[in-house]
Amino acid sequence: MKLTDFLLHLKLQKGMGYVKILRVASQLNAADVTIQTIKDLDLPTNLINLCINAYNDSKSSKMIERIKKQCHVISFFDPEYPEKLRQIYQPPLILFLQGNTTLLGRKIATIVGSRQATNYSQLVINQLVPNLIRKDYVIASGLAQGVDVMSHKAALKYAGQTIAVIGNGLNHFYPMTNCHVQEQIAQNGLLISEYLPDTPPRPFRFPQRNRILAGIAECVIVTEAKQKSGSLITANLALQENRDVFAIPGPITSDLSQGPNKLIEAGAYPITDFDLQLERFDN
């Protein structure tokens, strides 16, 4: 059995969460997995038995066939897996993709911000995104309301490429108002999820997907965001992973300026014009 298929079997196996799958995966170093490979792993007997059960599960084999008809599947061990994402803390072991997978090999700028963003974010994004596209950046965001969908729409409008990392399976739309944008991205960009295709959206999954948004990026740009915001989680993850973080300064009278202004105070690069010279900050 191919290694990626085996990891999918583990993901579908009851009682196998991320930590256990990671423990198994860390000992696998061959392109193919056999029952003997599993028996030779230095793991507790109960975990070995779970792996063997997963390997032999014919129901999982049928589900995997169906999944592969719906999307492209890559694992941590596949050459298409983005190198930057491999380097982060707790990288996703499997990614489910729809669209142009070659975008993962391009320079990526992640743009995040408030779901309640004002026209200020729209104005900034509409001028910033075309310049990023001219510099050959792919625009990534999380397909949420507000800044996320503004960024995706701007990338599509200005004939750029965009990646959406979503906090649910690829067969779900969240929010439903963005369903047409999601369909456009699947056709003209790339959708990424670490969840099985039929996984519904849940609040705890959105902070989890933020590490992917930070991990695939050369840099993260934060527009309007409150001081306690998912966007700041993404920015802080980006800092931890040694990515450049940029922030759009805003009036100190606005709650939505607290997040980016605090980031600037903590050392993020302020964006003071639209001709963003990211090359100055490249390592």
Concatenate the DSSP letters of all residues of 184-206 into one string: HHHHHSEEEESS-TTPPP-TTHH
Same domain, 15 and 138: no
In a domain, 91, yes or no: no
Q: Beta strands 137-141 and 244-247: pairing type?
A: unpaired
Same domain, 49 and 136: no
**For residue range 96-123, what is the model confidence (pLDDT) as tens digits?**
999 999 999 999 999 999 999 999 999 9
Cα 231 to Cα 14, 91, 228, 236, distances in angstroms: 33, 19, 8, 9
pLDDT of residue 104: 97
d(CA 276, CA 278): 6
**Pick from 57, 87, 86, 92: nearest CA to 196:** 92
Same domain, 109 and 66: no
**Pick from 16, 49, 55, 18: nearest CA to 208:** 18
pLDDT of residue 279: 56
Same domain, 204 and 118: yes
d(CA 258, CA 148): 18
In a domain, 172, yes or no: yes
Same domain, 127 and 253: yes
How many domains does the chain contain in total?
Answer: 2
Same domain, 60 and 184: no
In a domain, 39, yes or no: yes
In this predicted structure, the answer to whether residue 276 has a pLDDT above a threshold of 90 is no
In this predicted structure, the answer to whether residue 280 has a pLDDT above a threshold of 90 is no
State what percent of residues in the chain have pLDDT above 90.
Answer: 92
**Pick from 186, 179, 189: nearest CA to 159:** 189
In a domain, 90, yes or no: no
Same domain, 63 and 126: no
In a domain, 78, yes or no: no
For 99, list phi and psi in degrees, rounded to 5: 120, -150
Q: What is the CATH number of the domain that holds 205?
A: 3.40.50.450
In a domain, 208, yes or no: yes
In a domain, 231, yes or no: yes
CB-CB contact of 95 with 192 (8 Å): yes
Average pLDDT (166-170) is 97
**Pick from 173, 184, 197: nearest CA to 72:** 197
Same domain, 32 and 136: no
d(CA 114, CA 125): 13
How much is the mean pLDDT over the chain? 94
User: Among residues 70, 93, 126, which one ends one of the domains?
Assistant: 70
Same domain, 60 and 158: no
Q: Please give the residue range of the domain that contains residue 20.
A: 3-70
Same domain, 107 and 218: yes
d(CA 123, CA 258): 19
Tokens 């290694």: give the residue. Answer: 3
User: Among residues 49, 70, 91, which one ends one of the domains?
Assistant: 70
Amino acid at 228: K
pLDDT of residue 283: 47
Same domain, 123 and 63: no
Strand order in the sheet with 72-75: 72-75, 94-99, 190-193, 162-165, 137-141, 107-112, 219-222, 244-247, 269-270
Helices (H), 135-270: 147-157, 179-188, 205-215, 230-240, 258-265
CB-CB contact of 277 with 132 (8 Å): no
**For residue range 15-48, what is the model confidence (pLDDT) as tens digits?**
999 999 999 999 998 889 999 999 999 999 999 9
**For residue range 195-216, what is the model confidence (pLDDT) as tens digits?**
999 999 998 999 899 999 999 9
The burial class, CB within 10 Å (0-12 / 13-18 / 19+), for 276 is buried
Residue 104 DSSP class:
G
Same domain, 247 and 112: yes
In a domain, 77, yes or no: no
